[in-house]
Chain A
Amino acid sequence: MANHSTQAANPVLEAVLESVSGLLSEYGSTLDQCTPCSPFLGGPSPTVSAIVGFTGEAFKGSLALLAPPRMIADLVPDTGCDPTDVEIIRDWIGELANQLLGRAKNKMVRLGASFSMSPPTTIVGTNLDIVSSGTASTGWYRVSTSTSQMFLMCDFRGSKDFVLRPREEPDDNVADEGEVMLF
């Protein structure tokens, strides 16, 4: 993320894109490519989707993931449950969206911007279509691994005078993934 004051078009998307590789790697997959793409148009094949909303002081938006169920099943941690069960897949894409936006938030908090996150909403079906606000700051990306691909949408609406002013020194008090703090 650029460390300068900027009329950022979509700083949350930028932080999300920086976080994709680490999240996939945590669950045994490897990011191959992450490329801008046209909005996802659902087809006859089943798709599972999760949406998490966010709200900051002068901005709001949402992050959506859309994927074939098999891709998410491959990312489900081994807990003894059937990873191909549709309820497990819905649950897990919701948690992945939550963890992805959480990682992005932690990057933004380090630079001085924060936001609240909603719990994920998930859906599975055919011909799914995610309707964004249609602003110029909606980004669509195709996230490819060696075996599959999913789509990522991040919609960002800042107030007219929203400016991201990163702090001069990153905040080192932000807790890292896996960190344990006992008080």
Chain B
Amino acid sequence: MSKTVLIVDDSSTVRQQVSMALSQAGFEVLEAVDGLDGAEKIETNPSIGLVICDVNMPRMSGIEMLNRIKDGGKHDGLPIVMLTTEGDPGLIAAAKKAGAKGWIVKPFKPDLLVAAANKLAA
């Protein structure tokens, strides 16, 4: 599977933080500024092998993006990990039900993020 990771977050600084950690670990990184941008990039970039996605974003939330991407089964094999400030078990269960493969609570620890990315993009 490709080692290209799409980072979806409305904060440019968080995208930079995640990008820095993953680039140093050998991943190629693409960025999207919200769920809508993320969904469009997933549709047009078949090289993407992992998505790391915020939850609270303008235009389209991370959970909405997850539902849209997983609807129809076209991207069943694409792992999506949510990266958010929220630890609400109800939201985590909703993301899991929609097909998310992981949940990381901000602020993230770079080594744990890279370990999760290596495991899911292997």
| Contact indicator B88/A114 (Cβ below 8 Å) | yes
Interface size range of chain A in the complex: 35 or more
Q: Give the CA-CA distance A180 to B115 in the complex, in Å.
A: 10
| Contact indicator A77/B89 (Cβ below 8 Å) | no
Q: Give the CA-CA distance A175 to B55 in the complex, in Å.
A: 14
Query: Can you report 28 A-B residue pairs in the complex whose CB atoms are below 8 A from each other?
Result: A26-B107, A27-B107, A77-B17, A79-B13, A79-B17, A81-B13, A91-B12, A102-B86, A105-B86, A106-B86, A106-B87, A114-B90, A117-B56, A119-B56, A174-B89, A175-B87, A175-B89, A175-B92, A177-B87, A180-B103, A180-B108, A180-B112, A180-B113, A181-B92, A182-B102, A182-B120, A183-B96, A183-B100
Kindly identify, within residues 104 to 122 of chain B, every residue whose CB is under 8 Å from any CB belonging to chain A.
104-109, 112-113, 115-116, 119-120
Contact status of A183 and B102, CB under 8 A, knowing A92-B13, A95-B14: yes
Which of B17, B20, B116 meets A180, CB within 8 Å? B116
Residue of A nearest to B15 (CB): A79
Contact indicator per residue, chain A 58-88, by CB within 8 Å of chain B (1) or not (0): 0000000000000000001101110000011
* Distance of A78 from chain B, by nearest CB (Å): 9
Spell out B's residues near A (CB within 8 Å). 10-14, 16-17, 20, 56-58, 81, 84-90, 92, 96, 100-109, 112-113, 115-116, 119-120
| Contact indicator B11/A95 (Cβ below 8 Å) | yes
| Chain B positions within 8 Å of A118 at CB level | 56
Q: Confirm or deny: A57 has a beta carbon within 8 angstroms of a beta carbon on chain B.
A: no
Contact status of A77 and B88, CB under 8 A, knowing A177-B107, A179-B104, A183-B96: no
| Contact indicator B10/A77 (Cβ below 8 Å) | no
* Distance of A35 from chain B, by nearest CB (Å): 25
Q: Confirm or deny: A137 has a beta carbon within 8 angstroms of a beta carbon on chain B.
A: no
Contact indicator per residue, chain A 95-110, by CB within 8 Å of chain B (1) or not (0): 1001101110110010
| Contact indicator A99/B92 (Cβ below 8 Å) | no
| Contact indicator B116/A102 (Cβ below 8 Å) | no
Residue of A nearest to B96 (CB): A183
Q: Give the CA-CA distance A87 to B56 in the complex, in Å.
A: 20
| Chain B positions within 8 Å of A103 at CB level | 85
* Distance of B57 from chain A, by nearest CB (Å): 6
| Contact indicator A119/B10 (Cβ below 8 Å) | yes
Which of B107, B115, B116, B119 meets A99, CB within 8 Å? B107
Q: Confirm or deny: A11 has a beta carbon within 8 angstroms of a beta carbon on chain B.
A: no
